Structure 1
Amino acid sequence: MAALAGPITAATPDDTSDAAMRARRATARAGGAVALAETPFLQGSPAGRAYLARPAPKALARGEPPGQCYGLGVATGPDAPAEALRRCFEEMADDPREAGCGCRLLAIDDVLLAERAAFAYAPGVSGRLLGPEAPQSGALVVAERPSGREGAALAAFFGFDGPVAVAELGADGEAVLLLPGDAAPFRGERERWGWRRGRLTERLLLSSPEGRRLIALIGFEPADIAAEGPALGAWPKG
């Protein structure tokens, strides 16, 4: 892959066509090979693997700034850059917390449109299970891999003694989590916060068929938990 300097970002959905045009001009000037091994996000993340597996023409876009904007768009076809940006905005369209978020093109075909730091990827991130139903209350490690469903990922929660829970994170914002020994899973929704080291920071708000509640945290570091306090373990009102 070739790498380019300078972000190509659409500040609003109305800017997608202009950003796509700028990206096409930039790719025409691309030069200098970058080995795929140097792009951990594309190799390691479910979204990155899906992008690599798709035929060209294709494009990849992500929320900007990534720490607060969780959008992601992957598209193929002649209008792939604009379509990837549109899909990125669509993921955040109904979330008032994402007002003011933009979307940035990260790649078109085999050309990288962002600095290497933008393609960092953490195989394991911090995790916690909160609530009376949590089998373990301490810090966990969460690893992910692609699911069999389009756009979905499997997230496994590990403690010192091995697996504690496994969740499927749907592209539609839904989540399903199974605890060892339970016959029926907890189901609910993903409350996504943003990207950090190629992983989404998010809360899973889950309920069992009997009405038991469980909150799963993914990607929140100890400093985040200290800063947010009890709010991370609180169920949304309404």
Structure 2
Amino acid sequence: MSLVREVRRSLLVGYGMFRMHLTSYLSSTLNALLWLTLFLAPSVVFSSDPLSALLYLTPPVIGVNIVLLSIGLSQEYVTWLSEGGELDDLRLANLTLWKYVAATFPFDFLVVGFAPFLLSALLLSWYLGIAPTWLFRLNAALFALSIPVLMASGLLMASLIGLLYLKNPLARVLSQIIQILFVVVLFLPPRYLPEQYMALLVPGLVAVELLRASFGSNTISTNLLVSMTVPAVISYLLLSLLASRLVEKHFLKFGVETRY
């Protein structure tokens, strides 16, 4: 019963945070749609096989948006929320950085992750004159399998970036560089890695390839992807909890402070 209550409480907190962020989420969704259309349209339009390009390029949109949003929530938690005193309230409610990101994930996934993917896919399909029936080719099992990997990846990146912000005065610049690198890497096919298991070293890469696999456009074998799912989730969660623990130790030692 205590676990059920904790999950229920987390969902209520996540819904409250989602409502607080709703305006910025809608803005982020439209912004993501614009940039994704600008980035993806040339590759799809000038491809010799536009449908294959759609199947290959649009599923990673979900993974990229979730990882970038997790980084943004981490930055918000350790910097901006401290200015108005909201961080003190969150910590009094025992809402750590890890819980803060985890609680909002279900809502973030639907609005910031899935919505831009769906809108960009429909927009490009309409422009190219391709029937959007390819969206119904979805393998629900593989798509569902990607969600815990995606959540664990987001939690790991959020915890690491939060720790970076607290420990390094150059964190703002470094964070921007990391985000650019992640956008590039998550769109690249893991089949070009020296060893395909190296996909585990990049949080989000396994999840993105699972999303591709759910539409039949994966670049490495489905069996290998499925075998990497459990190690990815366990390792990312453990590392995220460790990094989050270090964030908590920093707060206990130095208190809540504003950083820009």
TM-score using structure 2 length: 0.21
* Structure with greater proportional strand content: 1
